[in-house]
Amino acid sequence: MNRWFRPAFQRELRSSWKRLSLAAVTLCLGMAALTALLLANARLESQSRRQADAILGGDAEVSDVRLLPEKLLESLLSSPQVARRTRVTSFVSMASLQQSGRPRLVEVLAIEDSYPLVPGMRVRPAYSFDQLRAGGVLVDSSFAATHSITPVSEKDSKDFSEKNLQRLLAERKAIRIGKKIFPVAGLAENDQMRDFASMSLASRIYIARDVAVRQKLISGQSRIRDRLLIQFPDNGRMENSISWLKNEVGKTESSKPAVRTKEDALNAAFKPARSLFLFFNAIGFSALILLGLGSAQGIHSYLQRKQADARIMSNLGASRPLLALLYVGNVIFITAVSLALGSWAGQLIFRQEISPRMSQWFTGPAIDVSLTGSGVVAYKFAISAFVLTMSLILPGALAYLRQPRSGSSFIDFKSAGDPFPKRVFIGFLELLENFPDLIWLISALLLSFLVSSEAGFNLIMVVVLTAVYLTLRLAVLFVSRMGLSPSIRLPLSIRIAGSEIGARPNQSSLTLLLFGLTVCLLVFMWDMRSNIVNQISTATSGMQKPNVFVLDAPPDAMKSIQNILAEGGEGRSILSEKITRARLLNINNKPVEDWLNRFEQGSESRLRAARLFNREQNLTARSEVSKDYGAEEVVEGKFWDKSSANSPVNEVSVEAGLANNLNIRIGDHITFDIQGIPVKVKVTSLRRVSWQSFRPNFFFVLHPSALADAPYSGLFATNLANSRQRADILNNLFEKHPGVTALDATEIAELVSRLLNSALDMVRLLTVLFFSGALLNTILSAWTSYSMRARNFSLYRCLGANNSLVLRSIFNEFLILAVIGSVAGTGASGLLSTLIQRALLTADDQLNLTILPSVAVSSVVVLICSVTAIVSGVLILRQSPFRLLRKPL
């Protein structure tokens, strides 16, 4: 290697560190965001898959809220399409641990030998699983630990004499379910088996299904869930098997059991985390794009400047390849160091900040992910780092290598007679070469497809960012055309500002893009934050929201239950509803099948409709709109008058989101099958329902007269904030009304609150990352365009422009950029929210957008621009214009 190269490289490195330090810092932050996101995504996917496996336990599940029809079971069990299967019937019951002990709510799972299909449940001692058929039970290890329950010895587990069982009960080695006592054969460690979406957080007890049937535990229950877990043969024809299964289930006439596949379970497991993650994805990638934009522009302009230095060195005899290595190699070195530091920081952020929060989204132990630990992550990371580096350096390297004063590196490849495709291709390459921000945008979006599994989200990002980019480019073109045109009658300072924007179209577009994205993301973040805060407030206002639900109350016990729930609480609000099971028969005399055909196969609307049409559902009847907890409001039509409660009114009020999905309008007629009697009602109102309100909500509310003769059960909801008082009241309730079911939703409210708080924490974290990036980029943008701005304004000063005109012009330049950026950003944020809302979120996850964030964020951007303009103007005015103009470019 030449003797001059090494010292020259070191000297260049020192100088380029100074010039590229901001670009390096922004790049580092961008890489940190990407790495953290990549790891979070990998963790989310692996954890969701594990959770889906744990929830379902097989390839598919057929379930119903009553016992599955024998005919269906026979056809499924005799088919060669099914490799393995197991049946689980679950129900919620009361169990007591001592003879006179207070009963506790437990979920009983009546299982077969082969449960579970997937090896997820660990049992201690190992032989205890075999004791189930003999009549023992397994209990949750956490439940056992809380209540000091220990398994019986192997010998005791075979002695079912009443005396022995009573002794075991006294020693907390047996448990009473209903009237029967069962020895605790073993403990099940099954935390990862918990269904995240399950409303029942009761502790689980496992019992052999044939024992449960024999002891008549199942037949006595009103609220059961019967599931058949199926594993198909491993022949790569899973889709065919699922299709066959759905077809078989569809033949069932008496009822319509639901079919759930592993994919459905994955979606269910993913859903709570997914809506949060979508937001983090949006912010993370936007931060990456934002941070990379500044770096790309900085590197591009740096290498362009080095062209002159290279010419001088080349004239002095330095070899051109070595010069390319000197300058481009230098930038590659700095970029590589920045990326390495960024990836390290990203891992740190993930481990310290993101991973602990993600742990709250899932149950079970955390799955460890690292950049090098998993093949897929390492591969994605390597490709990401390569694409990032290349897209940052390539435009600058081409600009450096091309002929002086030539606008293209590909000029030698062009000739007059080139065919059209070649012209287009070279034109595209020239475009990329001259627009580093464009190539960065394309690369970042490609990366988003690589790193994220959210194809729908990526498409939205492509649409929004392309729209923003093109709008801003057009805005710059428009403003630069306006320039100093004498035909436009505007103050000179504004016209000079416009011409300055046009003087640096790339810089101006970049600045606009930065401002636009800044406004877009901050507004979006603000809206999301407000939504999360609202949800937290909904979930955590424990003194107001119901946390105890009593189901299956017989009509003649309604008053008594009401009194029990009211004990010790003056003025306690107790909500009661009459509930009847019903099936939707037709809408406007069209059978439900016809309605289903309106929807695209596999669409979310169809799935929702199918869920509604194919099952029995709960209906209620009310004489007025529920005013409790602000849970619902009429948004269209008129709810029947309270005074009409005793007269026959065949009307129904429908939840607005469902009505929208099913195209149900005011005036339509709906027919329900209520316990075998068709009831035709007219839609007279639509209600917006707050599903997060924790109160019982219904899609359909009938007039009381419609259910006058129908059998019904009662549902109560109230708030029992004090845990001791809650236990006392529930125990009293179970003693007097052992047939009712109660659900304690306190833990769910706390879980939701924890989840949302963790989301809020992450929003704060991303805000810090994003703000620092945006601020750095604004400085970077002002810095890279400073020399040209200083030169132009020095000329204006020589031409007689006074300090005021100079300052006003610079101020107006930044102000125009800030205003255009704010308008574009506000529009983009609205577009982003709307697209995410329509394409990805369900009706339950409404984003409430307000104008305040746009105004506030735009004002902050204008303020930052004003400060930048003033600082920039003062720096320019401090220079001697005549001397500055004499300096070489």
Partner 1 sequence: MIEIENVTKEYPSPEGLRLRILDSVTANIPSGSQLGVVGRSGSGKTTLLSMIAGLERPTTGSIRINGFPVSTAGEAELSRFRAREVGFVYQTFQLLRHLTALENVLVAAEIAGHPSAKTAAQESLEWVGLSTRLRHRPDQLSGGEQQRVAIARAIVNKPKLILCDEPTGNLDPQSADQVFRLINSLSLELGATLFFVTHDYALAHQLAGRIELERGQLSRLQLSSGGYQ
* Footprint of partner 1 (CB under 8 A): 480, 483-486, 492, 495-496, 499, 502-503, 792, 795-805, 880-883, 885-886
Please give the Cα distance from 701 to 715 (Å, whole number): 14
Task: List, in sequence order, every residue forming a beta bridge with 261; answer none if it has no partner.
Answer: 60
Nearest approach in angstroms of CB 307 to partner 1 is 17
Give me the residues paired with residue 802 across strands: none
Q: Cβ–Cβ contacts within 10 Å for residue 235, how many?
A: 10
Nearer to partner 1, 545 or 797 (CB): 797
Considering beta carbons, is residue 597 or 880 the nearer one to partner 1?
880
Q: Shortest approach of partner 1 to residue 435 CB, angstroms?
A: 17
Judged on CB neighbours under 10 Å (0-12, 13-18, 19+), 740 is buried
**DSSP symbols for 565-589:** HHTT-TT--EEEEEEEEEEEEEETT
d(CA 524, CA 775): 18
Residue 368 CB, nearest distance to partner 1 (Å)? 55
Cβ at position 492, least distance to partner 1 in Å = 5
Q: Which is nearer to partner 1, 238 or 492 (CB)?
A: 492
Least CB distance from residue 477 to partner 1, whole Å? 12
Burial class (CB in 10 A: 0-12, 13-18, 19+), 112: middle
**Burial group, residue 513, by CB count within 10 angstroms (0-12, 13-18, 19+):** buried
Do 511 and 864 meet the contact criterion of CB atoms below 8 Å apart? no
CB of 515 to partner 1, least distance (A): 21
Q: Could you give phi then psi for residue 590, rounded to 5 degrees?
A: -95, 130
Beta strand pairing call for 700-702 and 651-655? antiparallel
* CB-nearer residue toward partner 1: 543 or 799: 799
In the complex, least distance from residue 14 CB atom to partner 1, rounded to whole angstroms: 18
Shortest Å, Cβ 501 to partner 1: 9
**How far is 3 from 18, CA to CA, in rounded Å?**
25
Bridge partners, 620 (sequence order)? 579, 701
Cβ proximity to partner 1: between 775 and 798 the closer is 798
Of 252 and 304, which has the nearer Cβ to partner 1?
304
* Complex with partner 1: residue 493 or 697, whichever CB lies closer: 493
Give the residue with the Cβ less far from partner 1, 416 or 799: 799
CA dist., res. 539 & res. 272, Å (int): 14
Burial 337-365 (b: 16+ CB within 10 A, else e): ebbebbbebbbebbeebbbebbebbbbbe
| Terminal-to-terminal C-alpha distance of the chain | 32
CB-based contact 515:817 (threshold 8 Å) = yes
Nearer to partner 1, 315 or 804 (CB): 804
Distance of CA 449 to the CA centre of its chain: 16
Q: Supply the minimum distance, in Å, between the C-beta of residue 480 and partner 1.
A: 7
Q: How far, in Å, CA of 37 to CA of 120, rounded?
A: 28
Nearest-approach distance from CB 797 to partner 1, in angstroms: 7
Residue 10's SS3 state is: helix
Q: How far is the CB of 489 from partner 1 (least distance, A)?
A: 12
Paired strand residues for 437:
none
Backbone angles phi, psi at 694, to 5 degrees: 70, 5
Nearer to partner 1, 317 or 486 (CB): 486
The smaller minimum CB distance to partner 1, of residues 114 and 880, is found at: 880
User: Residue for token digits 């529009």?
Assistant: 827
